[in-house]
Amino acid sequence: MAIRKNITLFIVFILSANCAFSQERTIYSQNATGTIAEIGRNTIFNKIDAVKNINRSRIPSLRNCITSQIKIFHADSIFHPPKGFIAQASFHTESDPFAKSTDFPPCMLSFGFYYLENDQKSGSVKKSMDGTLIGMETNNLYHFFRQVGNYWKDCDELNLPLFFEEPPVSDSTDDYIELDFRHYAAPHITPNTPFRIILRNHRPPFIPLARKEFLQYLIAQKNAALKTHQGNIKDDQKSINDQQKLLSNPLFQSRSETIKKTIVQIQKNILKEEDNIKSVQQLLNQYQKTASSMSSQEAALPVRVDNSKIFSADPLLALVPAGRKEGTALYKINPDYYDKSTNASGAQLIIVYYSLPRDFGSEKLNYLEQKTVDVFNRLDYHALKVSMQ
């Protein structure tokens, strides 16, 4: 009887919990009319003006571009009026406090879409805490590529220019190129949805990494490895000295055998590190010889690598012979993309992306997620391009 009573109480508890859960379930007001919270022009202008060491001649064109982006975005019929959501915009800039002059400061526009939901207690409609987002980032290509591919961490630690596997282009027109990193065969930190890059200039935003640049990366790797192994030996030698001091101290005579064994083990570690240094030095010499023997023509050729060998003991084996097409091409951000001429616009590149609160494509999109994707796809990308002229 006790068991049956406990089971009955458990069932009652579960049913009560389910009822409570169903009562708290969010019900969206898809047909309720929302509002649009825009950003004042003065707010935008003041934030642009406040960029540290900004090139003053670029300010008018940058202001015009940002305000045009907002107009282009809100031109979509979905905002006239917004149904089932509230649209709220924000704007901020970034600047390098150490730069003597900032020609093209990164500027970020964010358009948040928040659900309208029914308040079951009061019967009123209220703004939810969650939603979706569309972002427009001007002059901020590095934001999306600072941690892309298999090489970014090494490049960061070695203080080398960033490079990465060939960007995964999924769509392109005369007005934009679209990248989709969901199909990228390398770790990355980027939006988990497609994003589009609108270019003002005819110069490519990415250019192939040269073969000599890849060798310089391998050489830098080995030089860093040498320093690490040499540092380990120095630390081990200090540890031996410390242990020998303990061995000569009468207070530690009872532990003398343990201390001696520790010293022997550290000496073995030093021998291993010396072997590591010999191996690394041998590869370093090989890489330096290969780099110096390259003709200027071969050194400038685009590099391609065999990814199955890139993490081997000798990553030079991953270098595909010059002129061959197999393997993966490596690219870097074009340092000469920006037009720095006197009359050039202060806005020269716009990235448009969207963010959903879950993995894109994992389930059917709900109404607000679908609206977000629709706005992204219907944007007048040509008008965005023109806004940078």
pLDDT at 6: 45
Give yes or no for a contact between 102 and 53, defined as CB atoms under 8 angstroms apart. yes
Question: How far is Cα 83 from Cα 78, in angstroms, rounded to an integer?
Answer: 8
C-alpha torsion 337→342→346→350, nearest 10: -30
Contacting residues for 135 by C-beta, under 8 A, at least 6 apart: 108, 109, 110, 111, 351, 352, 353, 354, 355
Please list, in sequence order, all residues whose beta carbon lies within 8 angstroms of the beta carbon of residue 173, skipping any fewer than 6 positions away. 381
Tell me whether residue 214 is exposed, middle or buried, using C-beta atoms within 10 angstroms of its C-beta: 0 to 12, 13 to 18, 19 or more.
buried
The 3-class secondary structure across 33-87, one letter per residue, is ECCEECCCHHHHHHHHHCCCCECHHHHHHHHHHHHHHHHHHHCCCCECCEECEEE
| pLDDT score, position 270 | 97
How do the pLDDT tens digits run along the chain, 389 residues long? 444 444 444 334 333 444 444 445 678 899 999 999 989 999 999 999 999 899 999 999 999 999 999 999 999 999 999 999 999 999 999 988 778 889 999 999 999 999 999 877 777 889 988 999 999 999 998 888 888 888 999 999 999 999 999 999 999 999 999 998 876 766 566 667 899 999 999 999 999 999 999 999 999 999 999 999 999 999 999 999 999 999 899 888 889 999 999 999 999 999 999 999 999 999 999 999 999 999 999 999 999 999 889 888 899 999 999 988 999 999 999 999 999 999 999 999 999 999 988 655 557 899 999 999 999 999 999 999 999 98
Tokens of 91: 């704007």
